[in-house]
Every structure is written in structure tokens, then in C-alpha cells.
Structure 1
Amino acid sequence: MVMVLVVIVLTLGSVLFYVLSPWNLTPLASNWGAIDTTMHTTAWVTGAVFVAVNLFLAYVIFRYRFNRHRRSHYEPESKKLEAWLTGLTAVGIAALLAPGLVVWGSFVSPPEDAHEVEVVGQQWHWSYRFPGEDGRFGAVHNRYITDDNPFGMIDDPAGQDDILVESPRLLLPVDRPVKFLLRSKDVLHNFKVANFRAKMDMLPGQVSYFWITPTRLGEYEIVCAQLCGIAHFAMRGTVEVVEEEVFEEWLASQPTYAELAAREPPDREAGQEHYAACVACHGAQGEGNPAVNAPRLSGLADWYLERQLMLFREGARGTHEADTYGQQMRPFATMLPDRAAVTDVAAYIAELPETEVETTLSGDARRGERLYRTCASCHGSQGQGIKATNAPRLAGMPDWYLARQLELFREGVRGRHERDPYGNQMIDMVQMLVNEKAIHDVVAYIMTLPRSEQTLAAANPGGGEE
């Protein structure tokens, strides 16, 4: 009798937990209410089967409980029971599959007036491409992907006006159908926006698709719903649903493939003039100065320097009240009048001769080596930095600066701003360093890595693309 009560209580408790649970679906922000209906149908059908099976189990336990004066009757087959079970199972399966098949057919049948956006996934980043004025995408292929051609664009006239968005932030107009074309650069990914009730796998060498109509203004999180590697959980982006005119203004501000290809090379002489304001802290050769908490800059790549300077200029870095030295840096970054000046000074700094840094912190490098295995996925096994994963070089940087930045990331002082997506990824990744000792250990190991460009090249003859 006790087992009967246990089965009944567990069954009723499960039903109550589902009905009274505070965890619900995220607010719907697209036209796919039919997907909600399908999920609810699945829940009710499976729930009804769950209750029926468990109550039947409780009845069987009670009805056929032990009685030493009764013997069991062996009946190996029952055509009547099999017919009932087969029929009920068929009805249940049809009730589960039919609505989903109908919705799926609509999900992959975009309306003719839907505008298009290509979503490109890679470990661990989202980027986007829109057709230009001709309304057509240019040809692409993964074999043409390089640091300077991250979308794999081919020399196709139709692609010259394609609009390229390398940031993981995407804007879409409200109440306008959009068809997503999905492709992957490397491994299996899955593009998912829970509020849209939409997701689809992305396979290398294929283009999958689906469509939605955003119906609610707001900002929603993009996640990868496939286990795509060690930083899978940090592969996030944002999609912002805005009014049509805001979307058009944003889209017009994004560069086309032709514009990027025609960009003038940076003016290093102008960059040298801009760098004059940096010398007092960072040194004439970018060697840094621990006395004023200014890190070494020489040896860092121009693309990383440019990104950090832009974050300072835009207020995405150096505005947190606890980031004292970031606040000191920001006014100097705002002295650069425009992006061209930022590009020029970054190019000048990137060509400064490298200087050696001293070890100032102690830590267990052997333990740090184990911790660094996670870091290596983005920053490279030798800490050389990998542009494809937007990860800067670590080898050769001063240990006190590395430790401070890791602590700022761990505390959420740096990287929380919505315009700093790679900082957000670092916040997630650095949580594996549970205390100050772990930070010092991993920094101690980084300090054992080759510190100059020449020794890095010797230790990593394949280059930075790992």
C-alpha cells in the first residue's frame, strides 16, 4: 500500500509542479505562436500518458498485491490488449507529430517579400551579411576565408555591395518578415533566439534557413544551441528589434565589401603624431611603465589595439567606477578625433620594437599550465593570440597587468558593457579562475611562454591560425 501512495503522490506532485511552476517560456517576440501551441500540445499529450501510465501502475500494484492464497495466471499473448495499445499509441504519436509537421512546413516556407540576412557562425562568434542595393548575395566559400576576408567572399560582382557586419550585434526591423540564411565556418553550430521560438542547425558546407517576423521591440539574446567546443556557452550575440527607420540608418552605417577592400592603408606617420600623447605613460617604444600602471603596448596586434581604443572612446571600457586606471585611460582615447586616427595610431604602435618585461608576481606555473588549456583554445597554445577568435596575444605582456585584467573580468568590472561582446565572453571564461591564487598561477605559466615575436614564431611555425 505504501508503494501505491508513493506512485500516486509522485504523479500528482509532478502535475502540480508543471502547472504551478514559476518557470515559463520567454515572452513571444515573433509570429511563431504556432510553435508555442505545438509545445503545449506535446506537453499535454505526454502529460496525459504520464498520468495514465502511473495511475495504472498504482492500480496494478494494489490489485495484484501479494496474496499467498492466490496464484498468478500466465497469459503470454493478448491480441485485444495489443490492438488497444497499438491504436492508442498511434493516436498519441499522430497527435505529437502532426502539428509539428504543419508548423515545420510553414517555418521553412518564407514569404516572397521577406528580406534576407546571412548568419555566419564560427568558434565562438556570430557575424552577419546583408545583400546590397542589387538585392543579391555575392558568392562565398570557406576556402577563401582569411583574416582579411573573414566572410570568404569571392571576386563576384554581385558581392561588391554586400553589407558586412562583423559584430555579434544584429538589428532587425519590427513587423517585417526576414529570412535567415545560416552557414558555419568550422563546426556544427545552432542559431537560436528563444524569444523568437526559432532555431536551426548550421552545418559547414551547407546553407540552412528559416524565417520569422519580429513582432515586439526589444533586445534578445542569440545563443548557440549545439555543443560546438570548449567556449560553446560563451558564444552569444544580441538581436535588437527596432523601428524600420532605425534599422535602415544602422544598415547604412555598415561597410560594404567594396568599401572594406578599398580602404586606404593606415598612415603611420600620422599615428606617430597621435602617439605623442601616449608616450608619457606607455613610453616612447611602447614598453610600458609599472610606476604609473601603464602596460606594455609593443607586440600587440593593430586590430586588438584599435578595438580597445574604440571601446574606450565609446564608453564601453573605462567607465566602471571600480576601473580606476581605465577611467584614466579614457580621456586620452577620446583625444583621437575619429576612427581613422585610431587606426593610424594602432598601426604605428604595432610596429614598435618589442621590449622585455620583468616577472613581478609568483605563482605555480605547473598548475597554471593546466588552467591555461582552456585559454589556449582562443589565445593559442603559445599565447600568441588568434585574430579569428578575436583573442589578443598574451605572451610578453607584464604579469601584473594580466593579473589585474583577469581580476577585473572575474568581478565584472571589465567586459560587462553591451558593446563589448568579447569582454562578455571573457567574463564567462575567467570564472574557472576561482581565486587570486588561480589567477597568479595561470599568469605565472603565461610568463614562461616565448615573449618575443621571433621566439613565438620559432615555437609556433604554423603561425597564429590554430
Structure 2
Amino acid sequence: MIMAAVLALIVVASVLFHFINPWWFTPLASNWKSMDDTITITLVITGIFFVAINLFLVYTLVRYRHREGRRAAHEPHGRSESEYRSQKRRYLSEPENKRLERWLIGISTVGIMALLAPGLVVYASYVKAPPDALTIEVLGQQWQWRFRMPGADNKLGLTETRFVTPTNPFGLDPADPAGQDDILVSDQEIHIPLGRPVHMMLRSHDVLHDFFAPNFRARMNMVPGQISTFWFTPTVAGRFEAMCSQLCGVGHPNMRAHVVVEDAAGYQAWLKGLETFAMTQKPPSSEGGVVGQGRALAAAKGCVACHSIDGSPRVGPSWKGLYGKTENMRDGSTALVDDAYLGAFIRDPQARGVKGFAPVMPKIPLSDEEVAALVAYIKNLGPAPPAAATEQKAQR
């Protein structure tokens, strides 16, 4: 009886929680209403079976509970009493009902197929983009996003891993004319035009990632060595969050981006401010160029995923206002952040640790010129605003 009461309570609590819980789908901002409908159908069907099966268990627990003087006996379906009595021993040793088992297997098979079919139909459409879709490549890297779009020729350039460098994180082939006008986005924000289908091509630079934009019902795993695809049509203008939903290391919570949906005029204005691949390959020729090289290195090596440039707290110390600051080290000593400190820390981050931050920074092979460029970039960021510095101290 206690078990029956517990099961009944679980059923009631589950149904109530479903209707009063505050967590539900984010507002839909794409064409994939069919995904919501499929999930709703699945919830309704599985919910009905969940309630029915558990209530049946409650009934059987009460109806056939143990009572003094009663003993259970098996009687095969469709057998006469005389036949049962004459072969009672065989029936008791082989209590299976083959016909019932066949019916259960058949009904279960049909039910599972009925549940899977709508999802498979939607998925088949989800991965097949229309021919007029805008193509955007998404590159996932610990712990940041990069985006690439075709230029005026409407073609993406060829990529190979042997071409990957700090200034060419996508691995674009410098000899491929189609890649020279490819538009590159290193900021954690991508703009797309309202009402136009978008074909997303996903690949990973290092480990498993997962691009997830809840409002668009857009989600797909990113596996190193392969390209995953899906598409959607944005139907609502606004700024929507995207994130990595596959645990990818200590900086995983910071691997976030934003998708801005705007009209065609706003989208074209945004495009004009972006760099092409050819523009990023120009060698630096001045101090400003060295700072630019450091900025590109910080993005290419994933530094900005753990070190903010606006004073906000992340996995590691913010670079805003870092130069010239006195840091408290884990061993109780202090250190002035200057060129020598930054160079030594970049080359061997585990030699010393800053108090309040986990020692998780990997050792990244860099040339002396690259280290100097990173130091120049950090120096160029300037002092942190008082509010941001206060917030960082509070977080530490």
C-alpha cells in the first residue's frame, strides 16, 4: 500500500509540475515551429502512457496485494479448466503467454515508430537548406566562436589544416581566389538579415562543441574533422543569445555569442565594416600593426575566451588595465605586470600563478615576435574603468 501511495503521489506531482513549472521553450524566432509541435506531440503521448501505466501499477498493487490465506495461481489464456487441471504442472513451470507477448511487441514497435517518425521528418528538412540560403561557416574553438561568409563571388574559399596560423585560423588556402574576398568575423556576434534562410556550416578547431541558439531552435554538434549543417529562417528582429552546449573545458561557460537579426539595410551596413581574408593577410608595418597582430593572435589562440578586454571577470585576469598593475601571486608574493612579467607568463603560465585564478592556462608555443605582439596589445588596452575594476575585485 505504501508503494501504491508513492506511485500515485509521483503521478500527481509530475502532472502538476508540467503545468506550473516556470521553465519552457524560449520565444520562437525562426521558421521551426514544427520542432515545437513535434516535442508537444511527444510529450502528450508519453505523458498519457506515463499516467496510464503508473495508475495501472497502483491498481494492481492494491487489487492483488498480499492477504492471509490467498495464493496466486497462473491460468493460461484460452485454456479450459479441465485442460488446465490436467497440465497444471507444465503451465506453472512455463507461465509465458506467447500470444500476449507478440501483441505487446507489435504494439510497442508501432508506438516507437510513430514517436520517431515526426522527428525524423523534421530532421530531414532541418539539414537540407534551400538553394537561396545565406551560407555562414561557424568555427568553434576553445573557448570562442568565429564566423565566415562568402564575399562578392558568393563562394567560400577552400580550407586545409596545414594553412591554419594565428592570422589564418580558418585555414584558408592563400592560393585560392575564391577565398580572398571571404568575410571573416572574429567578434562574438554575427548579423543575419530578417526573413532570409541561413545555411549554417559548423566545424570544430579542437574538441567537441555544440552551437545552440535556442530562439531559432538551432542546435548541432561540432565534431573535429567533419562538417555539420542545418538551416533556419529568422522571423523576428532582435539580438539573440547563442552558446556552446557541449562541455568543452574550463572556459565552457564563457563560450557565448549573439545573433543579431536586422533588416537588409542594417545588415549591409554591418557587412561594410568587416574585413576580408585578403585584408587580414597584410603584414604589419608600424607599431599599430604590431598591436593589430597581437589582437589577431589573441583571437586566434583563444586568449580572449579567458581574458576579457573590457575589465569584466572571466577564467583569467582581464587584460584591461593589467599592464602596470601589481598582482598578488598564489605563493604570497607580489609582481609588477610589465613586459618581462607578461613575456614570462605567456611562455610558461604554470611557473607562477595569480591568486584567485585557477592554474588552467595551457602552454602555447609562440615565437618571440608573437609574444612581443601580445604584450604590445595588452599595453595598448589602457586602464580599466573604475566600475569594471571594482566588479573584477568583487568577483575575485
**Which TM-score applies when normalising by structure 2?**
0.72
Structure 1 residue 81 and structure 2 residue 100: aligned?
yes
| CA-CA distance at 1:20 after TM superposition | 2.0
Partner residue in 2 for 1:362: none
Partner residue in 2 for 1:31: 31
Alignment of 1:202-241 (within 5 A): 202-241=222-261
The structure that has the greater radius of gyration is: 2
Structure 1 residue 163 and structure 2 residue 183: aligned?
yes
Partner residue in 1 for 2:135: 116
Question: What SS does structure 1 have at the residue aligned with 2:234?
Answer: coil
Partner residue in 2 for 1:172: 192
| CA-CA distance at 1:84 after TM superposition | 3.4
Partner residue in 1 for 2:86: none
Structure 1 residue 12 and structure 2 residue 32: aligned?
no
| CA-CA distance at 1:374 after TM superposition | 4.6
Distance, in Å, in 2 between the alignment partners of 1:90 and 1:177 is 37
Alignment of 1:389-428 (within 5 A): 408-409=391-392, 411=394
Which residues of structure 1 form unaligned runs of 5+? 273-296, 308-315, 320-325, 330-352, 358-364, 412-430, 434-466
Partner residue in 2 for 1:63: 63
Deviations 1:290-343 (CA, angstroms, capped at 9, x unpaired): xxxxxxx9xxx8438999xxxxxxxx9489xxxxxx89x9xxxxxxxxxxxxxx
Percent identity over the alignment is 42
Q: Which has the higher helix share?
A: 1
Question: What SS does structure 2 have at the residue aligned with 1:241?
Answer: strand
- 2:339, 2:375 within 8 Å by CA — same for their partners in 1? no
Check 1:374–1:57 CA distance in 2 against 1; reply closer, same or farther (3 A cut).
farther
Deviations 1:355-404 (CA, angstroms, capped at 9, x unpaired): 679xxxxxxx9996897555424xx489x99x99xx989x99xxxx9xx9
Question: What SS does structure 1 have at the residue aligned with 2:361?
Answer: helix
Check 1:376–1:354 CA distance in 2 against 1; reply closer, same or farther (3 A cut).
closer
Distance, in Å, in 1 between the alignment partners of 2:263 and 2:138 is 21
Question: What SS does structure 2 have at the residue aligned with 1:91?
Answer: helix
1:376 to 335, 341, 361: 361
Which letter does structure 1 place at the counterpart of 2:163? Y
Which residues of structure 2 form unaligned runs of 5+? 75-91, 300-308, 313-319, 324-337, 343-349
Partner residue in 2 for 1:48: 48
- 2:167, 2:296 within 8 Å by CA — same for their partners in 1? no
Backbone CA RMSD of aligned residues: 4.0
Structure 1 residue 144 and structure 2 residue 158: aligned?
no
Distance, in Å, in 2 between the alignment partners of 1:370 and 1:88 is 62
| CA-CA distance at 1:32 after TM superposition | 0.2
- 1:45, 1:95 within 8 Å by CA — same for their partners in 2? no
Distance, in Å, in 2 between the alignment partners of 1:372 and 1:43 is 44
Question: What SS does structure 2 have at the residue aligned with 1:376?
Answer: coil
Distance, in Å, in 2 between the alignment partners of 1:110 and 1:64 is 57
- 1:45, 1:92 within 8 Å by CA — same for their partners in 2? no
Question: What SS does structure 2 have at the residue aligned with 1:6?
Answer: helix
Distance, in Å, in 2 between the alignment partners of 1:186 and 1:200 is 16
Distance, in Å, in 2 between the alignment partners of 1:305 and 1:188 is 22
Deviations 1:136-186 (CA, angstroms, capped at 9, x unpaired): 111012232111211111121110111111112100111000101111111
Distance, in Å, in 2 between the alignment partners of 1:40 and 1:62 is 33
Question: What SS does structure 1 have at the residue aligned with 2:70?
Answer: coil
Structure 1 residue 95 and structure 2 residue 80: aligned?
no
Check 1:53–1:372 CA distance in 2 against 1; reply closer, same or farther (3 A cut).
same
Question: What SS does structure 1 have at the residue aligned with 2:275?
Answer: coil
Highest RCO, 1 vs 2 (Cα 8 Å, sep ≥ 6): 2
- 2:311, 2:389 within 8 Å by CA — same for their partners in 1? no
Distance, in Å, in 2 between the alignment partners of 1:226 and 1:55 is 37
1:130 to 134, 145, 149: 149
Question: What SS does structure 2 have at the residue aligned with 1:227?
Answer: coil
Which letter does structure 1 place at the counterpart of 2:42? T
Structure 1 residue 303 and structure 2 residue 295: aligned?
yes
Alignment of 1:192-271 (within 5 A): 192-261=212-281, 263=282, 265-268=284-287
Check 1:62–1:271 CA distance in 2 against 1; reply closer, same or farther (3 A cut).
closer
- 1:138, 1:156 within 8 Å by CA — same for their partners in 2? yes
Count of aligned pairs between the two proteins:
329
Check 1:27–1:392 CA distance in 2 against 1; reply closer, same or farther (3 A cut).
farther
Alignment of 1:273-292 (within 5 A): none
- 1:175, 1:215 within 8 Å by CA — same for their partners in 2? yes
Distance, in Å, in 2 between the alignment partners of 1:252 and 1:150 is 21
Check 1:160–1:304 CA distance in 2 against 1; reply closer, same or farther (3 A cut).
closer
Distance, in Å, in 2 between the alignment partners of 1:77 and 1:356 is 77
Partner residue in 1 for 2:303: none
- 1:164, 1:256 within 8 Å by CA — same for their partners in 2? yes
Deviations 1:184-214 (CA, angstroms, capped at 9, x unpaired): 1111111110111111111222111111000
Check 1:372–1:29 CA distance in 2 against 1; reply closer, same or farther (3 A cut).
same
| CA-CA distance at 1:233 after TM superposition | 2.1
